[in-house]
Homo-oligomer: A and B are copies of this chain.
Amino acid sequence: MTVLAPGLAPADDQELTGLLAASAAAEVPDGGAALLGWLADHDRHAAMTVHRADLAALEGWTDDPVGGRIHHRSGRFFAVEGLDVQVPGAPVEHWQQPIIRQPEVGVLGILATRIGGVLHLLMQAKVEPGNPVGHQLSPTVQATRSNYQRAHGGRAVPYLEYFLGTVPGARTVVDVRQSEQGSWFLRKRNRNVVVEVPGGPEAVPARPGFRWCTLAEVHRALAVTDVVNMDTRTVLSCLPLAGGALRPAGAGRPDDFRAALLRSMLGESGGVHRTADLLSDLTVARTETDVDVGRVPLHTLQGWSRRDGAIVHDDGAYFSVVGVDVVARGREVARWSQPMFAAHGTGLVAFVVRRIGGVLHVLAALRTEPGFVDAVELAPTVQCTPENYAHRPASQRPAYLDRVLAADPDRLRFDTVMSEEGGRFHHTRTRYVVVEETGDDPDLVTGPGHRWVTLAQLSELVRHSHYLNVQARSLLTCLHSLALCA
């Protein structure tokens, strides 16, 4: 209940939540075909050619044998460095690996406006060198600081001004720094920001390559392989989609799963754990987990070698660091080279979910990754590359992995392969899965490293930095799409 005093802003954002829920429940007339067609048009008219190149000979980059790192000659963008990691008490206590250091906080921003009373998001058709196929649905702005300060001498970033606070009348929907892959980035953070502007598309026209979409259209596209890019998924996960304003959208739903999901987002029914206990669990885990990371020269990394112009793991596992030469039409600059990380095998990221007391809960893991700013974040139930564990005994396989792989198809509530950020990761894809458990299997009792949490709790946490890792945020967006579609 909001009892607003004159001149004061409301204590909560339920009006925004209602607007967002209505946009997510909007009809998608052609089942989303128009949006996919629009992306495909861009593939025809703005091609990008990517060729592998020797890491030691990338135009503009120094493969420094003394410092033992690969960095851009301008000192900007990012660097590939060697990392020594020690996590006393972890299953693997010590290892070394390459990692991307990108200390700048970039902007991942989506503009919103009302069209005919329905909130629309300004999405961009963007192709990145790492994309497995063509253009993907990207935020309005996706820019590192080097990028938008034009370190490469390219064109200005369109719409950037809305996210740098220079446009009056705009309303911030959300604005929070979030981590990215902590196994591949050292303490990287980006601002995840959504800004609503008044005046509709007349005030802010969509330039070529941009399109105003309802949240329903973007949510629908999540079901298609390689269409919604990682940056869109993480920004949308931060939308305020919890609380009572969701009620009308879910009225009279016949589907038990969706009703339980919506009840989980409403948040009124509580959950297995008090939020105070979840916060305490994170406090204790972060207090007790010592993650010691230190730089080592790339050429001395234990377990890694140079082969065919790339840095590869001696077991052929995990990922490689590769170089690429890129030629693009329709971007800020037409030609560049850069290092990229290329994962081996398709990743698996899954939330095991179940209804408890009629409320859908997801099983979140307390996970440590070397690049996290704060040691531990909430992560999906399972997050790994199954290939890396193919020949390991059951005791060495990640918890719940076999349960997810063996799940009956009729319990898969979401199952799409999507790619990770195409600006840094080369053909690096992940299968995103939501699998519902039923019955009272004792294996599903929470172990020390997992907690059953509601979607309302995840939405409360994701307003703040560093509680949910990027994979958990992607899945949160997928869950929202299941709950709110018409």
Q: Roughly how many angstroms separate A193 CA and B279 CA in the complex, as a whole number?
A: 11
Contact with B along A271-283 (1 / 0, CB 8 A): 1111111011001
User: Which residues of A (161-180) have their CB < 8 Å from a CB of B?
Assistant: 165, 172-177
Given A165-B284, A193-B280, A274-B9, do A4 and B175 touch, yes or no (CB 8 Å)? no
Chain B residues in 8 Å Cβ range of A8: 269-272, 356-357, 359
User: Which residues of A (126-144) have their CB < 8 Å from a CB of B?
Assistant: none
Q: Roughly how many angstroms separate A372 CA and B421 CA in the complex, as a whole number?
A: 31
Q: Is the CB of B175 within 8 A of A283?
A: yes
Chain B residues in 8 Å Cβ range of A268: 1-3, 11
Q: Is the CB of A240 within 8 A of B276?
A: yes
Contact with B along A286-315 (1 / 0, CB 8 A): 110000000000000000000000000000
Q: Roughly how many angstroms separate A12 CA and B277 CA in the complex, as a whole number?
A: 11
Q: Is the CB of A283 within 8 A of B191?
A: yes
Q: Is the CB of A283 within 8 A of B4?
A: no
A10 close to B (CB within 8 Å): yes
Q: Is the CB of B240 within 8 A of A9?
A: no
Q: Roughly how many angstroms separate A359 CA and B463 CA in the complex, as a whole number?
A: 25
Given A172-B277, A463-B279, do A270 and B11 touch, yes or no (CB 8 Å)? yes
A464 close to B (CB within 8 Å): yes
Among B5, B9, B270, B464, point to the contact of A5 (Cβ < 8 A).
B270
User: Which residues of A (219-243) have their CB < 8 Å from a CB of B?
Assistant: 240
A6 close to B (CB within 8 Å): yes
A153 close to B (CB within 8 Å): no
Q: Is the CB of A276 within 8 A of B173?
A: yes
A88 close to B (CB within 8 Å): no
A25 close to B (CB within 8 Å): no
Q: Is the CB of A269 within 8 A of B3?
A: yes
Q: Roughly how many angstroms separate A407 CA and B105 CA in the complex, as a whole number?
A: 42
A358 close to B (CB within 8 Å): yes
Given A5-B358, A191-B287, do A280 and B11 touch, yes or no (CB 8 Å)? no
A13 close to B (CB within 8 Å): yes
Chain B residues in 8 Å Cβ range of A240: 276
Given A105-B287, A284-B165, A284-B175, do A9 and B279 touch, yes or no (CB 8 Å)? no
Given A177-B283, A283-B175, do A11 and B271 touch, yes or no (CB 8 Å)? yes
Chain B residues in 8 Å Cβ range of A165: 284
A116 close to B (CB within 8 Å): no
Q: Roughly how many angstroms separate A267 CA and B176 CA in the complex, as a whole number?
A: 22
Chain B residues in 8 Å Cβ range of A273: 9
Chain B nearest CB from A437 CB (Å) reads 16
Among B271, B276, B284, B358, point to the contact of A174 (Cβ < 8 A).
B276
A7 close to B (CB within 8 Å): yes
Q: Roughly how many angstroms separate A191 CA and B3 CA in the complex, as a whole number?
A: 35
Q: Roughly how many angstroms separate A1 CA and B175 CA in the complex, as a whole number?
A: 28
User: Which residues of A (253-273) have their CB < 8 Å from a CB of B?
Assistant: 267-273
Q: Roughly how many angstroms separate A36 CA and B122 CA in the complex, as a whole number?
A: 63
Q: Roughly how many angstroms separate A12 CA and B1 CA in the complex, as a whole number?
A: 15
A456 close to B (CB within 8 Å): yes
Q: Roughly how many angstroms separate A269 CA and B400 CA in the complex, as a whole number?
A: 46
Chain B residues in 8 Å Cβ range of A271: 8-9, 11
Chain B nearest CB from A374 CB (Å) reads 8
Chain B nearest CB from A379 CB (Å) reads 19
Chain B residues in 8 Å Cβ range of A174: 276, 279-280
Q: Is the CB of B274 within 8 A of A10?
A: yes
A contact set with B: CB distance below 8 Å: 1-13, 105, 165, 172-177, 191, 193, 240, 267-277, 279-280, 283-284, 286-287, 356-359, 456, 463-465
Could you name 25 residue pairs across A and B whose Cβ atoms are closer than 8 Å?
A3-B268, A3-B269, A4-B270, A5-B356, A5-B357, A5-B359, A7-B356, A7-B357, A8-B269, A8-B271, A8-B359, A9-B272, A9-B274, A11-B271, A11-B456, A13-B274, A105-B287, A165-B284, A172-B274, A176-B283, A177-B287, A193-B280, A193-B283, A240-B276, A276-B463
